[in-house]
Amino acid sequence: MVANHRTKNDAIFGLLLICMTTVACGSGLLRKEVVFTRAELQSKVEKSFPVEKKKRLVKVELSNPDILLAAGSERIGMRMQIVAAVPGLGTVTGTAEADGDLVYRSDQGRIAITDTQLRQLHIADVPEVYHKTIEALAAGLTKKYLSDVTLHTLNQDDFKESLAKLLLRTIAVEDGRVVVEIGL
């Protein structure tokens, strides 16, 4: 009789727990919205610059990133100044454009830019053989140095943030800012 009563209480407690979790999840109590303005993203990304790489006799430097946010995208773009030292040509300058995925790493509780890829390279009056080398160096720089830039780390001491770290709900560029919703 006592075991039957205990089983009944356990079942009621389990149902109450399920109901409370459903209400909390549905009401947004266990959600966290993190918003980044373009200026905040600019400040975070600028800390990773300048970056440079040398291959054979060609040296490439990327600097002065400018954040580009396309509405509806889950990628963050950036336009950078590129300076290349090329034998026989001296120093040439131009612009490079790259973008990266915005991801949420739940195991670390952090939002980061990853998988950065070079999309465009604009340098005038450079022979094709050097252009390909400069492009390869610039692509390598964006992949190596800009593919794990932390934008935000959740505070593990904050109860709501520690619970919110469980699941990414949405990432979107809206009105010139990045909006990330995490939680249950």
The H or E element containing residue 55 is: strand 51-55
CB neighbours of residue 1 within 10 Å: 5
pLDDT at 23 over 50: no
Structure tokens given for 86: 């090329």
Structure tokens given for 32: 């966290």
Peptide bond into 50 cis (omega under 30): yes
The Cα 137–Cα 133 span in angstroms is 6
Q: Convert the pLDDT of each residue in 61-93 to its tens digit.
A: 999 999 998 887 778 899 999 999 988 889 999
DSSP 106-136: TTTTEEEEEEEEEEEEEESS--HHHHHHHHH
Tell me the mean pLDDT in the region 128-145.
89
Task: Output the CA angle 165-35-162, nearest 5 degrees.
Answer: 20
- What local confidence, expressed as pLDDT, does residue 151 receive? 82
- What local confidence, expressed as pLDDT, does residue 8 receive? 64
Which distant-in-sequence residues (6+ apart) come within 8 Å of 168 by Cβ?
A: 103, 104, 106, 180, 181, 182
Structure tokens given for 94: 């131009």
Domains and CATH numbers, the chain: 31-183 (3.15.10.40)
- What local confidence, expressed as pLDDT, does residue 84 receive? 92
- Cβ 76 vs Cβ 152: under 8 Å: no
Residue in the structure block whose two tokens are 């990045």: 178
- What local confidence, expressed as pLDDT, does residue 35 receive? 87
The Cα 154–Cα 174 span in angstroms is 21
- What local confidence, expressed as pLDDT, does residue 11 receive? 52
- Cβ 118 vs Cβ 139: under 8 Å: yes
pLDDT at 162 over 50: yes
Higher pLDDT among residues 132 and 21, named by residue? 132
